[in-house]
Amino acid sequence: MDETNAYIRIRGLRKVYQMGHTKVHALDGVDLDIPRGSFTVLMGPSGSGKSTLLYLLGGLDRPTSGKIQVGEQDLNSMDENALAVYRRRTLGFIFQQFNLVSSMNTLENISFPMRFNGSSSKARHQRAARLLEQLGMEKYTRHRPTEMSGGQQQRVAIARALVNDPPVILADEPTGNLDTATGFTVMQMLSDLHKEGRTVVVVTHDPRMARFATRMIYILDGRLVSKEDYDQAIATQE
Amino acid sequence: MRLLDLLGLIFYNLSRRKGRVALTAIGVVIGTAAVVILVSLGNGLQRSATSQLGGISDLTSIMVFPQYEEQMAGPGMSVSGPSTVKLLTESVIADITAIPHVTAVIPRDYLRTMSVINYARLEAWANVMGVGAQDVADLGYTVKEGVGTLERGTAVIGEPMLRNFMDPKMRPGQEPPEPPDLLDQQVKLVITKYTNDGQEVRKTVQLRIVGILKESRNEGDYSLIVNMNDMQGWNEWAIGKRINRAREGYEQVTVKVDSVDNVLAVADSITALGFQAYTPQSAVQGVSNFYIIIQVVFGGVGAVALLVAAIGIANTMAMAILERTREIGLMKAIGATNRDVLSIFLGEAAGIGFIGGLGGVGLGWLVGQAINAVALPYLASQAAQMGTPPPDAAVYTPLWLPVFAVVFATLIGLISGLYPALRAATLVPVVALKYE
């Protein structure tokens, strides 16, 4: 493991949930280095802890123990305010459920993150309009999420993730709610973001994502495992 | 987050839930309207009471008396010390005239012996008052007929006084005589004194009545008002020696002040000079205090309605936060700080309070106008029967009240939103995002 080259460094990461009287070890000691500009795919069955890892990396939850460092930023030492600024400046999130605000039109949804960073409404509008143009969705400017297909909604969500031009994109099952063809288009879009030089981390159980990845990480029961072990475990389950 | 963006987002969030915001705001509208109406009613009552008091007595005058003895009794203090007597001499009158806001200082004196007014076969007992002014208007009296100028040998008489004229030879059961019309008529003032050996001595003075005072429920109603020089002459005859004003001063002076607002301050200054100052304004102050209590009680009743509305706002906001949990998670994921989320939800709650406050002020004003339209004619007829000036409003809304009501309603909204907004702000983002 080349520590000097790593952009994201995760050490001894644990996350324990209290579910009634039982403790659930969602993550049980994860060490992971992600280089700058890589396309990392986290594969694992549901309940394996892969989403937990992504959300801890995104600063949306706190680990029980362990350390996460992104560039020069140590997430453990940040308060809630600093974490919000970290998410705003460093990250773009893409979700399985798209998480668009249903009452906002496409343009408003895309520019929503810019409301929290003090941009003028003119700057917001211009930036969102340019992203829409890049995605070839100009004619959906005034559409609401319910008036668009799943693929269109996810493209709007990707545009929203890019609106603050973050160096890191975190995607949680981005193709999970899409049909095969549309899902593939979304994968290509994520690959394009990687080619632009962004660090992309995708959580998925869609094996087609592998062809875009620079690195595959397999996770089972809260631990990182090798591809052989992973394949064997999946085969055994089936 | 910039304030303008925050306000924009709050407005946006309120406008996308118009129905529910409106329903919640109606509670605030009713509460605010209740506060506005009840406080305005208290205010209107106070104003009509004050204006009626003002009708009875002139609120811009202060009656000043000499201080004959300073009360300084206390443990260890000498009672036999020289008593400090403060007399209303000409130099003192000059001092009082020099107090800011004093427009006139008018000496007054009363006949120090018995007198009776005779006109034809009629006679009447009167309060004979000497006034050291050119015109009775200086004292605040209004002349109904004739003029108010006070010269030697003339007098001004109060209108109700005319009804006091009786025929001394009238037999029981006989109809009382009509009140005489004395304007420009000569009357006889018969002054009586007793010498040291008990002899009754009479002096008859001819006076021409030049003016009749409008009935105003004050001392002037039952007075015969004469020139100060005439009065001094009669009193010197009554006590049998000359009166030296420089040494003895006046019995009483009336101090006129430019505005009702300055009366109490001027009275305090006069008291500080060592004189006794009486002002009807202090009675009005007492009445005002009473009505302020009424307003507070009325306002409290309205505040209970607002409290109910506050619970409505808290409920609406708690529901909104449940419905928008995922949205809160999203806002945090895209970079909203806890403070941003807190400000947004607090702002929405305050916004509901503000909208309700505006509506309540409007409704309160409308209802106030309606009450005025219904109650004013009745109050005016009541006032006419009592001979007091008609009230100008039954419900009176002072300018500060609408402003206060809107600010208060907004504050109520803000406080109601505090708990829900704090809950929203402290949601763990990942939990909020996964909320179903």
Chain A residue closest in CA terms to B326:
A99
Report the pLDDT value the prediction gives residue B387, as an integer from 0 to 100.
Answer: 62
Task: Judge whether residue B55 has pLDDT over 90.
Answer: no
Q: What is the pLDDT of residues B338-378, one digit of tens each?
A: 999 999 999 999 999 999 999 999 999 999 999 888 888 88
Closest CA to A56 of A19, A109, A17, A23: A17
Which residues have a Cβ under 8 Å from the Cβ of B155 and sit 6 or more positions away? B187, B189, B207, B208, B209, B210, B224, B225, B226
Work out the pLDDT band at B283, boundaries 50, 70, 90.
confident
Contacts by residues B87-92 (CB-CB < 8 Å, ≥ 24 positions apart): B87/B247, B87/B248, B87/B249, B88/B64, B88/B249, B88/B250, B88/B251, B88/B252, B88/B253, B88/B275, B89/B245, B89/B246, B89/B247, B89/B248, B89/B249, B89/B250, B90/B245, B90/B246, B92/B249, B92/B273, B92/B275
Question: Containing H/E element for B118?
Answer: strand B114-119
Chain B residue closest in CA terms to A124:
B5
**Residue B143 bridge partners (DSSP):** B213
| Helices (H), ranges, chain A | 50-57, 80-90, 106-111, 121-134, 150-162, 180-195, 227-237
Check: CB of residue B103 under 8 Å from CB of residue B257: yes
Report the pLDDT value the prediction gives residue B252, as an integer from 0 to 100.
Answer: 86
Report the pLDDT value the prediction gives residue B349, as an integer from 0 to 100.
Answer: 95
Q: Which of B335, B338, B339 sits opposite A87 (nearest CB)?
A: B335
Instruction: Using a cut of 0.90, tell me whether the model's pTM lies above it.
Output: no
Report the pLDDT value the prediction gives residue A2, as an integer from 0 to 100.
Answer: 44
Q: Which of B9, B330, B335 sits opposite A84 (nearest CB)?
A: B335
Report the pLDDT value the prediction gives residue B54, as an integer from 0 to 100.
Answer: 59
CB distance A61–B340 less than 8 Å?
no
Q: What is the pLDDT of residues B304-341, one digit of tens each?
A: 888 888 999 999 999 999 999 999 999 999 999 999 99
CB distance A113–B340 less than 8 Å?
no
Compute the count of residue pairs across chains A and B with CB atoms less than 8 Å apart.
71
From the number of C-beta atoms within 10 Å of its C-beta (0-12, 13-18, 19+), residue B288 rates as middle
Q: What is the pLDDT of residues B79-129, one digit of tens each?
A: 444 455 778 888 888 888 888 988 888 888 888 888 899 998 888 988 899
- What CA–CA distances, in Å, run from B432 to A120, A149, B68? 28, 25, 84
Which of B5, B18, B334 is most worth mutating to test chain A (most A CB atoms within 10 A of its CB)?
Answer: B334
Six token digits for residue B435: 């909320």
Report the pLDDT value the prediction gives residue B56, as an integer from 0 to 100.
Answer: 57
3-state DSSP assignment of residue B389: coil
Six token digits for residue B392: 């100008």
Question: CA–CA separation, A111 vs A126, rounded Å?
Answer: 9
Average pLDDT, chain B: 85
DSSP letters along B177-244, please?
A: PPPP--TT-EEEEEEEEE-TTS-EEEEEEEEEEEEEEPP-SSGGGGEEEEEHHHHHHHHHHHHTS---
Question: CA–CA separation, B415 vs B353, rounded Å?
Answer: 10
Q: What is the pLDDT of residues A31-71, one digit of tens each?
A: 999 999 999 999 998 888 999 999 999 999 999 999 999 99
Closest CA to A29 of A45, A10, A46: A10
**Chain B neighbors of A116, CB-CB under 8 A:** 1, 5, 331, 334-337, 340
Q: How does DSSP classify residue B316? A: H
Question: B295 versus B349: which is more confidently predicted?
Answer: B349
Residues making up chain A, counted from first to last: 238
Report the pLDDT value the prediction gives residue A1, as an integer from 0 to 100.
Answer: 44
CB distance B330–A101 less than 8 Å?
yes
Report the pLDDT value the prediction gives residue B2, as an integer from 0 to 100.
Answer: 84
Six token digits for residue B283: 């009675």
Question: CA–CA separation, B105 vs B138, rounded Å?
Answer: 9
**Chain A neighbors of B336, CB-CB under 8 A:** 84, 116
**Chain A neighbors of B326, CB-CB under 8 A:** 97, 99
Work out the pLDDT band at B388, boundaries 50, 70, 90.
low
Q: Which of B157-161, B267-271, B309-313, B350-354 has the highest mean pLDDT?
A: B350-354
Residue A194 touches chain B, beta carbons under 8 Å: no
Residue A99 touches chain B, beta carbons under 8 Å: yes
Question: CA–CA separation, B101 vs B269, rounded Å?
Answer: 11
Question: B135 versus A10: which is more confidently predicted?
Answer: A10
Q: How does DSSP classify residue A116? A: G
Domain locations along chain A:
39-48+80-237
Q: What is the pLDDT of residues B71-84, one digit of tens each?
A: 554 454 444 444 55
Question: CA–CA separation, A211 vs B105, rounded Å?
Answer: 106
CB distance A80–B333 less than 8 Å?
no
Question: CA–CA separation, B120 vs B7, rounded Å?
Answer: 85
CB distance A88–B334 less than 8 Å?
yes
CB distance A85–B340 less than 8 Å?
no
Which residues have a Cβ under 8 Å from the Cβ of A95 and sit 6 or more positions away? A157, A171, A172, A173, A174, B433
Task: Judge whether residue B167 has pLDDT over 80.
Answer: yes
Domain locations along chain B:
3-56+286-434, 61-258
Chain A residue closest in CA terms to B339:
A81
Mean pLDDT by 10 residues, chain A (238 residues): 71 91 90 94 90 94 94 92 93 93 93 90 92 88 93 94 94 92 92 94 90 93 92 84
Question: Containing H/E element for B104?
Answer: strand B102-110
3-state DSSP assignment of residue B169: coil
**Chain B neighbors of A118, CB-CB under 8 A:** 1-2, 5
Q: Which residue is it, tokens 């419900």?
A: B395
Check: CB of residue A137 under 8 Å from CB of residue A106: yes
Report the pLDDT value the prediction gives residue B71, as an integer from 0 to 100.
Answer: 52
CB distance A101–B327 less than 8 Å?
yes
Report the pLDDT value the prediction gives residue B402, as an integer from 0 to 100.
Answer: 93
Question: CA–CA separation, B96 vs B86, rounded Å?
Answer: 13
Which of A:151-180 have CB within 8 Å of B? Answer: 160, 164
Q: Which CATH architecture has domain A39-48+80-237?
A: 3-Layer(aba) Sandwich (3.40)
Q: What is the pLDDT of residues B415-428, one digit of tens each?
A: 999 999 999 999 99
